[in-house]
Structure 1
Amino acid sequence: LTLPPVYSSTLDAGKLASVRRVVSAGDHCRVEDARRLARTADYYNSYGPTETSVCVTHYKVDPERAYGSRIPIGRPITGTSIYLLDERLHPVPEGVAGEICVGGAGLARGYLQRDGLTAEKFVPSPFAPGERLYLTGDLGVWLPDGNLEVIGRRDNQVKIRGYRVELGEIESVLEQHPTVGETAVIVREDDFGNKRLAAYVTAAETIDVEDLKTHLRARLPEFMIPPSFAVLERMPLTANGKIDRKALAAIVENAQTSEAAVLPQTPTQQTLARIWEEVLGVPRVGIHDNLFDLGGDSILIIQIVSRAREAGLKLAPNQLFDHQTIAELADVAVSAQPAEAAEAEQLAIEGPADLAPMQAWFFVQGFADPHHFNQSVCLEVPAGEFDAEAADGATRAVLAHHDALRLTFTERDGQWTAAYAPAGTESAFDIVDLSGVPADQQNAAVRAAVDRAQTGFDLAVGPLLTVRLLRLGDGQPSRLLFVAHHLAVDGVSWRILLGDFSTAYAQIARGDEVRLPAKTTSFRAWTARLAEAAPGVAAGYWLAPVSAALLPTDLPRADGANTVASAREVTRTLDADTTAALLQDVPRAYTTEINDVLLAGLVMAFREWTGSAELLIDLEGHGRDELVDYVDTSRTAGWFTSQFPVLLRTGDDAAPGAVLKSIKEQLRGVPQRGAGFGVLRYVSRDGATIARLETRPAPEVLFNYFGQAGRVLAPELQWALAGPVGGDISPRAVRPHLLEINGMVDDGRLTITWTFSEAFHLRGTIESLAARYETALRRLVDQCRTLTTPEYTPSDFPAAGLDQKSLDALVAKLNR
């Protein structure tokens, strides 16, 4: 008896006593149907496209064997050869999926009057001169016992949320559910262009969709769980008895689905979803969508926490690392009652304060002109749209509200101390009218005005913020320049400061009283808590011996030559598609974060340049929450940054995926995301530990990823960025690193800026290194696109105690 598998479930084995052999072919058979029929007759699961004269493999089913989700199709019959090949027609190893290609005497000559299709599907055999292969389009794997298993169709592979998904894999697992009859999984596209899986099942009895999802989650990764299910009385079939998938797509709107189950249900979930959509810039967020899959990073997490507090929800940044979906996060979010704001100091802070780790680091460096070490932002103001009175009032409001901007620093006997000055009456806002300067001299006049703003701070007096309007006249847009000393701000602070300036400016312009959001934990309280926590910070990781070779240089090294004046830049920008893949696809594929991806590519590039498998590098983090619990700094300005050295190794395997997994594990091994180093080195009073840390080799490379620029600035600001103005740091200052690599995503494209000293390196050398880095990042993207399942590392399963080799073996076994 030969029949399509779809009819196997309808056969009554008790009425087939005279049947000695059953052969099914044409589609995959259900495991339980095959085992049931094999108990009363020889059951053969066969395989063979029409183009190969029907069957080319056979497999006899053992009714006592516990198969997985599929029945093998066996081995080639006599006169037939079977190959599993990759896209280049190279054989794939055992256990790796490849396209089933058939050779032998049974091949058809081709398609009647379709020469193009014939040439595409029937190709010369690379293994037997003069013979041909038929490319079936089916995907299969060789099993350890030498049998072949079909796992789906090449054209049935789809990409969902960056992963390659084999629809047949989901269908096979669904069929293992005891109440499920037939299954089909297709891909549907919503109004926003997002692709989502939709599953269809038949069942002899009432079936719970959530029960089906639980069944799948026990066997498949989350990205393979369809958000939409439909329970049908029967499957639509084509004329030859196969499931009609086009018909399924047409009837989906009338089916019973559970799509709403993935959308926000509770008020808390709805609030979080709205915040994620705004901050991450995605059109719709489901409650099971992963924060980092959507492009989240540590900088954006701070913004999410701040927005959540404004919406009445209290979260800590580390909670978003531990609970990466809205469904999980909503369970730990608590209501932020107005009374809780009173826990933070709402009045202006005055008096002495502890130095933060980076502030102490700054003074240890002994920079020339320490008053000239700033950060700046310049906005373009359309002509005729500026209210000087509102800008002056907004500047005063920001200075009064953000205490760190009123910090002062004094030196006595080589020791620097900090104190908060009271809010003064003098304004830090000024207008520089350049409208009368001749056009050919205006650029020089702007440069001079910027230099005066950059060099005008007095650390002993303060304040450490100045705002200048550069009025250019003749209908030209003006420039609104914000300059703050780095001792008072970090990258996260600018979103807060510019947002509050914008809010206060608009309120004053309307004639309203200035009302800024309540303060969060003060910078002074945070530094005090760090000092208290210092004795408990574990030092073992940081005291481990480290040795690293110096970077190669094009010119002889000379002390004091690496000045800011000698600094030059090389900038490269990736295209939007590659950037999106780096932000979302690669982190999803390797269950990791964007910083790990960027650093893996960096280590690969440096290995090509230096020939060394090791790179000693300084990294930076936002530093706001790693060591101090029960604080909320989401609306606090200050220099919270953590900077810490890490020795990264590529290992023996230089393949992109292996390097990424290795770098990910090394970074996961850094305690408290590196924040402990600065505390031990600059805040701790343990003289022995400080002395040992001082002897560590200093990294010559600094890497910093600033996140997505378009989402860091407050959305209420309507004035566009005018670009960098330069001159932030004194040209006489000696740079702490030979190479500084800064990354930022702007307008959907990743820009990497390499800063080097022309006293040590030629521009061509750095341009070549930057090109190597770009190539390495593209290799990581290409590698992730070959994966059909996520790649895991031991840190994904910390309780299991596995090393990478053991984990890889376990995952391979589970995937068979």
Structure 2
Amino acid sequence: MSAAASTRADAHPNVLVRACREHARLRPSATALLDSQGALAFGDLWSAVQARAASLDALGIGPGSAVLVRAKRDRHTLQTMLALMLVEACYVPVAADASDYVIHRCAEACGGFLLEDAGSRPLVAPGGGVYGACSLPAYGIATSGTTGEPKVVLIPVGALSAQLQALASIYGIAPRDRVLHVVPPTFDLSFEIVGTAWLRGATVLMPEHAFADGIAALHAYCNMHEASIVNAPTAVVDAWLAWADAASEHLPHCTRLWIIGTETCRPSTVAALKRLCAPSARRINAYGLTETTITSTCWDMVTEAMDGDSVPVGTPLGGAVARVLDEHGRPCAPGQRGRVYVGGVALAIGYAGDAASTADRFRPDPWGTPGSRLFDTRDIGWIDDLGRLVVAGRCDRQAKIGGIRVEPDGIARVIETHHDVIAAAVAGVPLAHPSMLAAWIIARDEIALGDVKEFVAQRVQPYELPRRWCVVDAFPLTPNGKLDLQALQAATPDLGATGHWDEAVAPALEKAFNGNMPDPHTSFLGNGGDSLIAMAVVTEFRRLGLELPLSALWSEAPLAEVVGGARPAAETATPRASGFVTALAMDRCRLQALRALGAVREVLDFVCGPTALQADMLVASMDGCVEGAYVERLSATLGALDLPRFKECWRIVTSRHDALRTYVMADGLGRPLLLCLRDHDPVWELEDWSHLDASAARTRCEDLLRAIVRSPLDPSVGPPFHWTARKLPGGRVFLVFSYHHALLDGWSDGVLLDEAFALYHGRSETTLAPTGSYRDLAAWLVGRDRDAAREVWNAQLRGLGVDRPWLLTDRDGSGPADSHQEHAAVPDAAVAAIRGTARRLRIPLSAVLRSAVANAIAEVTGSREVVIGMLSSLRPTELAHVAQTAGLMLNLVPLRFGCEDVHDPRAAFRRHAALEPHAYLSLDEVRRCAPELGVAPLIDTALVLDFFAAARSGEGAGFVAHTRGNLPCTIHIRTRGAFGIVVEHNPAAVSPECVRKLLDAIVRNLLRTQDALLQDAST
């Protein structure tokens, strides 16, 4: 690679290029892509990109060059995309089977050339002079034009970078994620899927044939490769839901995030997703257009209700705006329908070589900053009472087929250029929710439709070719003399079908073809069938008790002949294991694990993969790299306790909650598996020390507790929950409950113990929390008295002013930036003193650390009020994007410190402990309890306390990224062994000098707190 290209990689305007380079440098062996050729590591990916960029340099391809690439679903295409971005050229993907005519028209529109022809071109001077660094086009997408000629939408580097950063944050993508890629590489959603994954160092899963092999194969692929994120068109997910419903399956439980978009989402889709995906999974409905750089708004289906029967598309991303204007260009009132416009930092440059169309669709934003623009989406919608955008339809005839926008009128104009065609009309069918294009033709005389199809196929993109064709004598018109598409489709309901179907299968075929009855004498493909319709046919036939191989539909035989080959399911069925067994059996090492389990279905309730955070914890503890890693203990000395009765109550609690019956299998597996036993007897270790005197018993209890703390708790031997009990003199009992933090968080232990003692005291099981998953327990807890919680938070936050600034911000910059870190350490002697005195005073170490941090912030900023966002291990459903299996959820709890608190950790702890029962409210709900704040910052910094050793991968802390939002800084304190303090900050908002002052102040206040605690302990 040339020196110039190498320099560009060091300080590149494209954030994706910078991120891939950094992953290759810091994590070269981490998997970037898993495709049909195997795993591709970030180091190998970057080496290939550099080599390709060097060859592009030699061809004179550089800033401002527009390069068309025949894009395929393979690593070669993705490497070419990155290489073109590295040399700051514009990457324009076209379908691999696109005709020469289409490629020529696209190249002409953007002034570019096909990459495979580059060697025969004369060298060209880079053309970057007309653009700034961030306004250079990163990629171009060919779209359908109203005239039938393709348009190329140019997306600038700055827009792509801003969108990828915003979306990666909203989706909470981490290096451990595996993101499924099923869309064509020419679809702009492909840029979002690959870009957000590689920005955060996650793995892209690219099955060779996407969903062409059927939903069952895609479902198995997701389970086998543990896809944690699925970002797919709504039509794909609808087909997946229909298949799962018919097959009595659930969507993969390994998937923590479902993102649907590109097409209208129906209420039935929202309901089916809730019913069939993992209870912990987050579900997002996304909306955007090519001209607004993919996704512009998001609606979280888990945390927000629908607007009546309308499915919202949500609120704009950071840096984006969505406006609904009336016919006079004035903002519509909430609930009033109007035309949707999208603006902000992520708008396209415009249409290459088409200034008129650019000016028509991209208009000045009179409410924005000088120079800002709005894009006319030509969608109809409204803003609901919660400020969310709802899109109801189109104000023109544009249609979306498979998530890709097409212009039916433009395609009709192309058809009319054929010498035998007098007039043509094209529309999506059915009109309400089109799934394919149909063409109606008025011909001069006899016409060969095959010739017309071939003629049109050479002039349009493959996805623009109508699947259904019909010759008519005339077009019906409305009273106003316009084409009446409703009447046209009603007059040809089967679009030329001449045969008749058996009464049993006709409804199934009509439903699969989205309300269009196919022609029995035409092949499946000739009827307009595609992979989504094929999966729908198989699903509908399965509902009838018929098995029809998916491969049979791809034949050229008439559809009636193919359908006649369907057989009763009983003739083809084989014993089918449950979903997790099927997924395990598709992987060789998992097959070995399955055999080792024996009668797996008789002993297990479920098998699933751990979350990224759980995997880090489990790997660290089972590798033995840290003694006692991630094991917690609760100890107490109780009065008279009927141990046999309490043991029976705990057995009932264990049977009610999956988490307490879960253990880990890791041998021979790339990642651990969580296995939930159907039945499990809790482990108890009992001894009678009642014969000892009180002093000796107390000493032995202290020795026992120290020994238990040093003891490992192997989660691969069985469920890692262990009771130790000692009978003491006077009828008292010493109890120690040990558990692994990866399977039960530090808050839930109290909830489950409360349940055990409720049973012990005779409360009926029917009044307790619901049985089953931790998620069910969470939903029950969150459904408690929210009004009481709001009153508590209102009192906690009352008086914070509307003009409250970011306390730690000392720079004017804003917006996303690469975070920087500063480190400090606390002397070991001080650490030992703080730990010991906090234990003697019976206050948690976390309370001491919070007070010291709050005092340090007050000292550095001169403020009398500090609010720290404390990451707690909690249970709110609004954080569904924090995937969990057996009990890991997070919340950011705002803890307020006044001047009187920071010098008295015990007083602050007592007041903050009173907030704990009400911390299930989301941060957004808590904020609404202080309406006088307006948009002023609520939290000055997030404080993350790590009471465990770092996991082997070093990526475990990444799970907190999504909770930080755009905070100027986050403070991490590692408390295992010596105290290590890390301040991660945005240098655009907080200077290194300010961070260094803060670190010094934290250390100073910890030492000051140590002295105060020692004095308190002595008195």
- The TM-score normalised by the length of structure 1 is 0.30
TM-score, length basis structure 2: 0.24
- Structure scoring higher RCO (CA < 8 A, sep ≥ 6) equals 1
